[in-house]
Amino acid sequence: MTAGSLVLLAALLVTGAAFHAQSLLPRFLRVPAPVAPPRGSAAAGVLYAFTLAFTPGAKESASLHLPSYLAGIAYHLGIFAALVRLLTTLVPVTLPWAADVAAAVLFALGLVCGLALLAKRILDSNLRAISVPDDFLANLLVDATLATGIVASLDHALVWLFQVTGTALLLYAPLGKLRHMLFLLASRLWSGATFGRRGVRPAPPPGVPRG
């Protein structure tokens, strides 16, 4: 195993430990079990939370800013693919050239969208007013990882560079907004189950009172 792989593996362990420690904080302690009788399905609520709840029709901000919404989807697809590709660098597997090219294209699409969203945050006075340094740093770290992912996909001799930026990204993830890559899943599970059980999500048919 190369030095870059060892550093990346260490970063994965540190990041995993940091996320686990955060999950044990008092604010994440288990909430009391509901006592009211259910008026809907928790499973249906979870399904809604991970599907239709992400669509523009369910998110006013997304429906009003559709280009940014679509760019965000492409950005996150690129990020997810980069994380998967980062993990594959830890195993002695050589991907087909076509897979590397496809990965590079996906990373490039994500990078373009990420830079566009960063430019919007900088140029839009409203967005700039509510932004904090973490918003910019997180974007730049992700963009750097996508950029080096492109380079590493086209030249395997530079995989170590991809691993270095990936290590920085992983170590920063528990410290800022990037922690949502993990806690988004937990929050969606909880809110989906809670509001599904109450019969609030998905929305009941017209004329049926909400829980």
Percent of the chain with pLDDT over 90: 52
pLDDT digits (tens, 9 = 90+) for 147-162: 999 999 999 999 999 9
- Residue 211 banded pLDDT, cuts 50, 70, 90: low
Q: Kindly state the average pLDDT of the residues 166-193.
A: 89
What's the domain count of the chain?
Answer: 1
In a domain, 52, yes or no: no
Q: Is 2 left (phi over 0), alpha (psi -120 to 50) or beta?
A: beta
Cβ pair 76, 84 in contact under 8 A? no
Handedness of CA 188, 17, 22, 62 (dihedral sign): negative
DSSP state of 50: T
Residue 105 is part of which domain span? 71-202
Cβ pair 71, 113 in contact under 8 A? yes
**Distance from the Cα of residue 37 to its chain's centroid:** 34
Q: Which two tokens stand for residue 161?
A: 């560079």
Question: What's residue 23's pLDDT?
Answer: 79
Task: Return d(Cα 36, Cα 199) in angstroms, integer.
Answer: 12
In a domain, 8, yes or no: no
In a domain, 28, yes or no: no
**How many other CB atoms sit within 10 Å of the CB of residue 7?**
15
Question: What's residue 198's pLDDT?
Answer: 87
Between 29-33, 64-68, 97-101, 106-110, the lowest mean confidence (pLDDT) is in 29-33
In a domain, 32, yes or no: no
Task: Return d(Cα 146, Cα 205) in angstroms, integer.
Answer: 44
Q: Kindly state the average pLDDT of the residues 40-45.
A: 89
In a domain, 140, yes or no: yes
Task: Return d(Cα 72, Cα 56) in angstroms, integer.
Answer: 12
pLDDT digits (tens, 9 = 90+) for 67-95: 999 999 999 999 999 999 999 999 887 88
Q: Kindly state the average pLDDT of the residues 15-30.
A: 80
Task: Return d(Cα 46, Cα 44) in angstroms, integer.
Answer: 5
Question: What's residue 110's pLDDT?
Answer: 96
In a domain, 86, yes or no: yes
Cβ pair 22, 186 in contact under 8 A? no
**Looking at the predicted structure, is the pLDDT value of residue 208 above 60?**
no
pTM: 0.85
**Looking at the predicted structure, is the pLDDT value of residue 210 above 60?**
no
Q: Which two tokens stand for residue 209?
A: 């009172």
In a domain, 111, yes or no: yes
In a domain, 157, yes or no: yes
Question: What's residue 24's pLDDT?
Answer: 78
Nearest one of 22, 9, 37, 58 to 179, comparing CA atoms: 22
